[in-house]
Structure 1
Amino acid sequence: MKKLVIAITGLIVGVASLGFLLQGILNPKPRVIANEKAAFLVPADELQYFFASNAEIASEKYLDQVLEVSGEVTEVAGKSIVLDNRVMVNFLTDTLNGAQEGEELIIKGRCVGFDELLLQVKIDQAQINSKQQPKQ
């Protein structure tokens, strides 16, 4: 009887341990882009040109990477801005720290792709790293 109880207890502990292990593997914690170091610092126009001229190579280099992208704000809409009419930047919150059209920014975010129709690079989970005054 003792052997049966020990065997059942061992089986329960083993199954529970396997469950916790699989939970960690199948449901990893989400990336926090704000805590990651940028892999590249690139101007918005150069980033868009690279994708437009060779999307395959650009995707291999930049896709799912944390980037710092610099450029002039050409559009502000809700939780998004557009830099140099070339890079669409989506923020996690609708707080854009007062970003205004004409302002020079450096943003940090994750490159998620290229819209071939609009010819825009897509960045998400962005935050503003630095601001300069709007051009007069």
Structure 2
Amino acid sequence: MKKILVFITVLILVILMGSYFYLYQDHRDVSATTAVNTFNSNQLLDVFQDSVIENDKEILDQVILITGVATSASEYSVILDHKIFIEFDQKNYNASNYVINKNQTYTIKGRCLGYDDLLEEVRIDQAILEK
């Protein structure tokens, strides 16, 4: 009886630990990930505004490089060409001391979240500034 109780306890612990590590995985490190594609802001917007849904699916949740002119900037985000909203990864942002100036061209690597129909902009997060 004791062997069965010990076996069940160990089995439950293994299942709980496996579930925990599966559910709470580390986030993707964008700085170490290779970008799947490179776009300027107009090209990226065109991909989402065309009627071909397969094009959208190829870059959703993928790391991409985007180049554009900064039209608005705040502490942890920037808007490129009034069309692309980019939120920087706060850990890398604080360590790198980014300085984003308006009307300058930047290349930024980040994870593409998709197109926001309400605000009519493409959203990117976990971004880092490429030098």
CA distance in 2, matches of 1:45, 1:26: 37
- Deviation per CA, 1:7-26: give whole Å up to 9, x if none: 22222111111111122223
Do the aligned partners of 2:107 and 2:130 also contact (CA within 8 Å) in 1? yes
Q: Report the 3-state secondary structure (helix = DSSP H, G, I; strand = E; otherwise coil) of the residue aligned with 1:123.
A: strand
**CA positional deviation for 1:105:** 0.8
Query: Which residue of structure 1 aligns with residue 76 of structure 2?
Result: 79
CA RMSD of aligned residues (A): 1.8
Query: Which residue of structure 2 aligns with residue 116 of structure 1?
Result: 117
Alignment of structure 1 residues 1-136 onto 2, 5 Å: 4-54=1-51, 56-93=53-90, 95=94, 97-130=98-131
Query: How many residues were matched structurally?
Result: 127
| TM-score, length-scaled by structure 2 | 0.85
| TM-score, length-scaled by structure 1 | 0.82
CA distance in 2, matches of 1:55, 1:44: 18
Q: Find the structure with the greater CA-based Rg.
A: 1
Structure 2 unaligned regions, length at least 5: none
Between 17-26 and 94-103, report the one with greater CA deviation. Answer: 94-103
Query: Which residue of structure 2 aligns with residue 133 of structure 1?
Result: none
Distance 1:117 1:15, change over 3 A: closer
CA distance in 1, matches of 2:47, 2:68: 15
CA distance in 2, matches of 1:76, 1:26: 34
Percentage identity across paired residues of the two chains: 24
